[in-house]
Chain A
Amino acid sequence: MSSSLLSIGTQALNANQSALSYTGQNIANVNTEGYTRQRVNFETQQPPILGVGIQDVQRVTDQFLVEQVWRDQSALSSSEQQAKKMELLDKLMVSESTSLSSAMDNYFAALQRTVDDPLFIGNRQLFLAEAESLVSTFRTFDQRLTEQQTAITTEARSMVGTINTITGSIAQLNVKISSLAASGQNYNSLLDDRDQLTKELAKFVSLDVVSSDGGITNNILLANGEPLVSSGRAATMTVRDGSPDPAQIDVFLQRGNTAAKITGVLGEGALGGLFTYRDEVLQPTRSEVGRIALVLTTTMNEQHRKGVDLDGRLGSDLFSPTLQGQVYSGLSNKSTGVTTNLTFYDVTQLTASDYEVEITGVDSFRVKRLTDGALFYSRDMANLEASESVGPGGAFSRDDSGNVGTLTLSLDGFTFTLNSNGKPQKGDQFLLQPTKNAARAMQLAITRPESLALASPLRVTPASSNAGNAELLSIEILDGSDTSPLRPGQLDTPIEIVFNALNADGEQKYSVYDVTDPDNPALIDGMSQLNYTPGEPITINTLAGDAIYQIAFANQPRPGDRFMVEYNTDGVSDNTNALALSDLQRAETANGYSYQDAYGQLLAQVGTKANSITVAYEAGKAVLSASEDALESIRGVNLDEEAARLIQYQQAYTASTRLITAYQDIFDSLISAVR
Chain B
Amino acid sequence: MRISTTQFYTESTRNMLEGQSSLAEIQNKIASGKNFTSLAEDPVGASRVVNLKRELAQFDIFQSNIDGTKRRLELEETTLDALNNATTRAQELIIQASNGTLSDADRLAISYELEELVEYSASLMNTRDAKGEYIFSGSKGTTQTYVKNADGTYTYQGDDSRKQIQVGSNQYLESTDTGQDLFESVPGALSLSLIGGGNNPQLDGAFSNLEITDETAFSAFMQSTGDLKLSINEGTAGALYYSLTDSAGTPITNENTGTDLNLTSYTVSTPATSVTETIAVPGATFDLALPASAGVSEPSISLAGDGVDRLSTVSSPSTNPTLSNSQEFVDFYASTGPFRISVAVNPAATTVYDVSILGYNESTGLYDQDLTAALETAGSLTIGNTDPLTINLPGWNLSLDASESFEADIDVSLEPAQEVTLRLEQPLSNILSVLSNAVEAMRTNSITSASDRSALFGTLAGSLDSLAVIQGRYSQSIAGLGARLNAVDSAEFANGDFKLLTEATLSSVVDLDYASAATELSKRQLALEAAYSSFAKIQGLSLFNFIN
| A residues at B contact (CB < 8 Å) | 30-31, 37, 83, 86-87, 90-91, 93-94, 99, 101-102, 104-106, 108-109, 112-113, 115-117, 119-120, 455-456, 459-462, 464-465, 467, 498-504, 509, 511, 517-523, 529, 558-561, 568, 570-576, 579, 582, 586, 596, 599-601, 603-604, 606-608, 610-611, 613-614, 625, 629, 632-640, 643-644, 646-647
Q: Give bound CA distance, A24 to B131, whole Å.
A: 93
Residue of B50, B60, B133 touching A119 (CB-CB under 8 A): B133
Q: A90–B38 contact, CB under 8 A?
A: yes
Q: A86–B40 contact, CB under 8 A?
A: yes
B143 on the interface (CB 8 Å rule)?
yes
**Chain B nearest Cβ from A648, distance in angstroms:** 12
Chain A residues near B438: list those with CB within 8 A: none
Chain B residues near A643: list those with CB within 8 A: 542-544, 547
Residue of B53, B137, B425 touching A465 (CB-CB under 8 A): B425
B378 on the interface (CB 8 Å rule)?
no
B226 on the interface (CB 8 Å rule)?
yes
Q: Give bound CA distance, A509 to B226, whole Å.
A: 11
B336 on the interface (CB 8 Å rule)?
no
Residue of B5, B61, B159, B164 touching A461 (CB-CB under 8 A): B159
Q: Give bound CA distance, A456 to B1, whole Å.
A: 83
Residue of B41, B46, B137, B139 touching A459 (CB-CB under 8 A): B139
Q: B60–A109 contact, CB under 8 A?
A: yes
Residue of B142, B172, B418, B423 touching A572 (CB-CB under 8 A): B142
- Among the listed stretches B216-224, B326-334, B485-493, which one makes contact with chain A, having 4 or more residues with CB under 8 Å of it? B216-224
Name which residue of chain A comes closest to B423, CB basis.
Answer: A560
Q: Give bound CA distance, A647 to B247, whole Å.
A: 125
Residue of A105, A117, A559 touching B68 (CB-CB under 8 A): A117
B533 on the interface (CB 8 Å rule)?
no
Q: A498–B39 contact, CB under 8 A?
A: no
**Chain A nearest Cβ from B337, distance in angstroms:** 15
7 residue pairs, one from A and one from B, having the closest CB atoms: A636-B4, A607-B43, A573-B141, A559-B226, A500-B247, A574-B139, A610-B40
Complex A-B: 16 CB contacts under 8 Å:
A94-B46, A102-B53, A116-B64, A459-B139, A462-B160, A498-B247, A501-B246, A503-B248, A503-B250, A504-B248, A558-B223, A560-B222, A604-B46, A607-B44, A633-B4, A639-B5
Residue of B2, B53, B137 touching A101 (CB-CB under 8 A): B53
Q: A464–B184 contact, CB under 8 A?
A: yes
B424 on the interface (CB 8 Å rule)?
yes
Residue of B50, B53, B54, B143 touching A570 (CB-CB under 8 A): B143
Residue of B37, B57, B60, B161 touching A574 (CB-CB under 8 A): B161
Name which residue of chain A comes closest to B137, CB basis.
Answer: A573
Chain B residues near A629: list those with CB within 8 A: 7, 11
| B residues at A contact (CB < 8 Å) | 1-7, 11, 14, 37-44, 46-47, 50-51, 53-54, 57-58, 60-61, 64-65, 68-69, 131, 133, 137-143, 159-161, 163-166, 169, 172, 175-176, 180, 184, 195-199, 219, 222-227, 246-250, 416, 418-419, 421, 423-428, 542-544, 547
**Chain A nearest Cβ from B544, distance in angstroms:** 5
Would A639 and B226 be within 8 Å (CB), given that A459-B139, A571-B161 are in contact?
no
Q: B248–A509 contact, CB under 8 A?
A: yes
Chain B residues near A636: list those with CB within 8 A: 3-7
Residue of A83, A112, A120 touching B131 (CB-CB under 8 A): A120
**Chain A nearest Cβ from B434, distance in angstroms:** 16
Q: A559–B159 contact, CB under 8 A?
A: no
Q: A109–B61 contact, CB under 8 A?
A: yes
Q: A560–B226 contact, CB under 8 A?
A: yes
Residue of A108, A459, A521, A637 touching B196 (CB-CB under 8 A): A521
Q: Give bound CA distance, A608 to B172, whole Å.
A: 38
Chain A residues near B543: list those with CB within 8 A: 639-640, 643-644
Q: A638–B37 contact, CB under 8 A?
A: no
Name which residue of chain A comes closest to B40, CB basis.
Answer: A610
Q: A119–B141 contact, CB under 8 A?
A: yes
**Chain A nearest Cβ from B137, distance in angstroms:** 7
**Chain A nearest Cβ from B48, distance in angstroms:** 9
**Chain B nearest Cβ from A314, distance in angstroms:** 16
Would A499 and B39 be within 8 Å (CB), given that A119-B131, A579-B166, A632-B6 are in contact?
no
Q: B57–A105 contact, CB under 8 A?
A: yes
Name which residue of chain A comes closest to B172, CB basis.
Answer: A579
Q: Give bound CA distance, A499 to B423, whole Å.
A: 12
Name which residue of chain A comes closest to B193, CB basis.
Answer: A519
